[in-house]
Copies of this chain bind each other. A is one copy, B any other.
């Protein structure tokens, strides 16, 4: 740390992303990426010679074409759409802009919420989950602070209902209710339509998971014209050209081949259910997930040990140090072949544990 850093940030603990190995020897099930490549139209949009040549020109700061494509897909208007360099950008802006009275989010959820709150010196309340790692929606009523809920939640994969979301939005008329739908396309249903009813409801999504574009960095928000206008104000005060030309083109193309991505989501959901059955057979407790990952533990092996042993076998899964969940691991759903590699390795470890070799 330099002596020049603002006092406010000196004790800031930044977010630690999942490991991103530079080599590709790992079966990589740790950061919830899609195991399937972007679709042919998306790849064509990225690889176009004209698009590459036009990189000499700034991107459209209004991202009109991209916003229109998103608006069409989610049946809202352009003015109800905000786009950004990944959805983290939007979460950051929301904690900056809408948390004057504080923020509320689940105790176990995306670890970044706490970092954003600390960065912007927002007072926050973390609400414990209830049995089965579920969110009790009533716990978020009448807070009138920025409410942030991941639906499905991470790393648990548990969802809340559309009715729960409208109840929360209705009971917090003086604050923004942000639903982080990063994993919505793997079995959940989006609250995008509800933003037409609740002016304080902001739905945030990403192209990183279901649309196979984690490396392109593209997130978006849907909400009332006023909320979107506020986000635009922050954007135009920090980084007006925040979405680059290639990513914008990829986003438009991805929305043009929605069927391809929806088919991938179905494949991943099928693989998820097969993996759940197989892990349960191996004695694991698996939280029922509506995301592209599962959250698992076994009484026969320590959580961190499982993570370490699999890493030795060149398989990466995600382990969290949080004491409340340290017996668990989050496993991204890959291809069926990748899950077979995982299951074989886990099977070996469990037999070794059974036979007392450990």
Question: Which residues of A are interface residues toward B (Cβ below 8 A)?
Answer: 1-9, 12, 14-17, 20, 22, 28, 31, 33-38, 42-43, 46-49, 51-62, 64, 85-86, 88-89, 92, 96-100, 115-116, 118-119, 174-176, 199-200, 208, 212-217, 224, 226-227, 229-230, 232-247, 250
Contact = CB atoms under 8 A, between A and B. Distances in A.
B119 A238 contact: yes
Contacts of A199: 2
> Secondary structure at chain A's binding surface: helix, strand, loop or mixed?
loop
Contacts of A62: 20
A42 B237 CA distance: 30
Contacts of A15: 236-237, 240
Given A38-B53, A58-B214, A246-B46, A234 B98 contact: no
A6 B37 CA distance: 40
Contacts of A244: 85, 215-217, 244, 246-247
A251 B61 CA distance: 21
Given A2-B227, A5-B230, A215-B244, A46 B56 contact: no
Given A47-B52, A55-B214, A4 B236 contact: no
Contact of A56 (B6, B59, B215): B215
**5 nearest A-B pairs in the assembled complex, by CB-CB distance:** A14-B236, A2-B226, A215-B245, A56-B212, A37-B53
A238 B90 CA distance: 10
A20 B61 contact: yes
Contacts of A37: 52-56
A85 B237 contact: no
A240 B12 CA distance: 15
Nearest to A238: B92
